[in-house]
Structure 1
Amino acid sequence: KRFNDDLQILPATFLVRSVPVCGQAPLNTRIVGGQESSPGSWPWIVSIRPGERGKDHVCGGSLINEQWVLTAAHSDGDLVYVYLGRHNYNDPNPNQVERKVITMKRHPQYDDVFNEYDMALLKLDSPVPFSQYIYPVCLASGGSSVHAGVSAWVAGWGYTQEGNFTFPNTLREVSIPIIGDNQCKCAIPFFLPPDTLCAGLQEGGKDTCQGDSGGPLVVKEGTRWVQVGVVSIGQGCGRAKSPGVYSEVSLYEEWVKNETTSGNTPGFVSLYKTTKSLHLLFFTLDFFLLLEYSFLLRYLYFYQNEVLLLLFFYAE
């Protein structure tokens, strides 16, 4: 880590094809914890590798439709091969598909000094077939919100420990909570780009690391998995009071749609996730607001003449 193919009829009879129910992972039974993942748990995860076949994994990414992968802009520009449906780091399997990258589109405002707009799209040389092991993730749409404390998941083939420069044999996964912006700004000792969100544990120990860059940070919404972040930067790996920083996917909906003109439109999902405590807080506030509103209505009903007199007096 790094310093059902539906047709929707639109006005004017334009037809837009969207990804068939994105974010499905029928082989995923994860609830809590961090461990080696089982094959097919994260069917959108991809391993991106440079140059010649057999080269080491350099970063992760996520499949967002049959021909496009979302990753980080700071990933090496010499990204040539993408492996989908992979579980073991080097060993192929019958569910695996390999594609060549023909175009890398970094966000036009990407700043490699401050890591702003750290988002990129990779176009594959041909569409990939969907299966239980290869399937596109949903993306958080513009205006989506994920509150502090919500559990998110991240997976990748990155280093498992800071300073240990070896990749794991299999895909690893970990569950970490979203962290509020203010807490993150206090914890991060460098400039925090405004288009980011943070996730991690106060005590450390669970995090992304080198090799996980570009991978997806996802949350569960009903039966679907929705990507809310792209692994971007961080201070070391798994350090206490040092959360990971992720590019916030919901801020890029328009750009992603404009760039992914071939294939089905990526599936965007409106997301508003809170913790149980926040749900209780909002319910309590709504209850007291309703009480206050009812008292106001009763007052106006019983004292309407006095209210009208006061309004007349102030109008004069």
Structure 2
Amino acid sequence: MLNLFVILLLAAAASASERIINGNNAPSATFAPWQVSLQRYGSHFCGGSLISKYYVMSACHCLQKNNVYVIMGTTDYRYPYQSVYADNFFCHSSYNSNTMDYDYSMLHLSQQAATGSTNKISTIYVADREYPSGTQALITGWGLTVGGGNNLPTQLQYGYTNLMSAASCRSSWGVATITDRMQCAGGSNAVDACQGDSGGPLAVYDGSYWVLVGNTSWGSPNCDTGVPSMWSKNYAVRDWIYYYSGV
């Protein structure tokens, strides 16, 4: 069952990428200034998060090694505040495309991101601890707004969801292949990620700053908000992230 789901998800991602179901237009570029669009030949295919001036966190199943540009500082991916060529890529060596375990990647920018006083582009902290079930989290992206749709929104979408425990998630899906590298969230018939949001952020507000808890990985092939979705959990591979990015 899971393998079939993954095949369906990846097929959809190949043609469109992932989006926010039941989301809203982000009010400005400063709303989620770490959000980036990954593009080839001017087309959005995945999301990502700026974790330093030179590194973007994303998902391994998004990995494209040629002609990838990172679009930053905008709510409309067609009109970037900054566009930077990605000149190197790192996928976690334990990534399994059948189970989606270790679905992590990083991109190195050929020039530094223009973070500064405009606040349109900003880095986000990477989680150094696990957050409990029930914690509210923000998801953002340019993925499909309707499961099974064809058109990506040009405006950045956002929505709020709640983290779930792995045990509750396994019960919802009826599969045992939800691993410690997967952060489950949603399943409350509210909002969800969809094709085109892949690699994008799952962020938690930790009192005074935002924290990147996970990267959009997999979920229902028709983006059903009644079942939870999965993000690759950054805390689980914190040493790997630090080794490559230094943050």
Match of 1:123 among 96, 100, 108: 108
Q: Could you say which residue in structure 1 is the equivalent of 2:14?
A: none
How many residue pairs match? The answer is: 224
* Secondary structure at the counterpart of residue 231 of structure 2: strand
Q: Could you say which residue in structure 1 is the equivalent of 2:45?
A: 58
Counterpart contact for 2:63–2:105, Cα < 8 Å: no
Counterpart contact for 1:114–1:193, Cα < 8 Å: no
Runs of 5+ unmatched residues, structure 2: 1-7, 11-21
Q: Could you say which residue in structure 2 is the equivalent of 1:299?
A: none
Alpha-carbon distance in 1 for matches of 2:94, 2:130? 23
Q: Could you say which residue in structure 2 is the equivalent of 1:70?
A: 57
CA-to-aligned-CA distance 1:208-227 (integer Å, 9 cap, x gap): 00000000100101120001
Counterpart contact for 1:88–1:171, Cα < 8 Å: yes
CA-to-aligned-CA distance 1:99-139 (integer Å, 9 cap, x gap): 00111100011111111100001001111121301010011
Shift of 1:146: 1.1
Larger radius of gyration: 1
Shift of 1:149: 1.1
Runs of 5+ unmatched residues, structure 1: 4-32, 267-316
> Which residue identity lines up with residue 187 of structure 2 in the other structure?
L
Q: Could you say which residue in structure 2 is the equivalent of 1:2?
A: 9
2:99 matches 1:114:
yes
2:216 matches 1:231:
yes
Counterpart contact for 1:89–1:168, Cα < 8 Å: no
Bigger fraction of residues in strand:
2
> Which residue identity lines up with residue 171 of structure 1 in the other structure?
L
Match of 1:43 among 33, 40, 43: 33
* Secondary structure at the counterpart of residue 162 of structure 2: strand
Shift of 1:59: 0.3
Q: TM-score, normalised by structure 2?
A: 0.86
Counterpart contact for 1:208–1:237, Cα < 8 Å: no
Q: Could you say which residue in structure 1 is the equivalent of 2:243?
A: 258
> Which residue identity lines up with residue 125 of structure 2 in the other structure?
C
* Secondary structure at the counterpart of residue 192 of structure 2: coil
Q: Could you say which residue in structure 2 is the equivalent of 1:158?
A: 143
Shift of 1:193: 2.9
Query: Percent identity among equivalent residues?
Result: 28
> Which residue identity lines up with residue 198 of structure 1 in the other structure?
C
Alpha-carbon distance in 2 for matches of 1:181, 1:205? 19
* Secondary structure at the counterpart of residue 115 of structure 1: coil
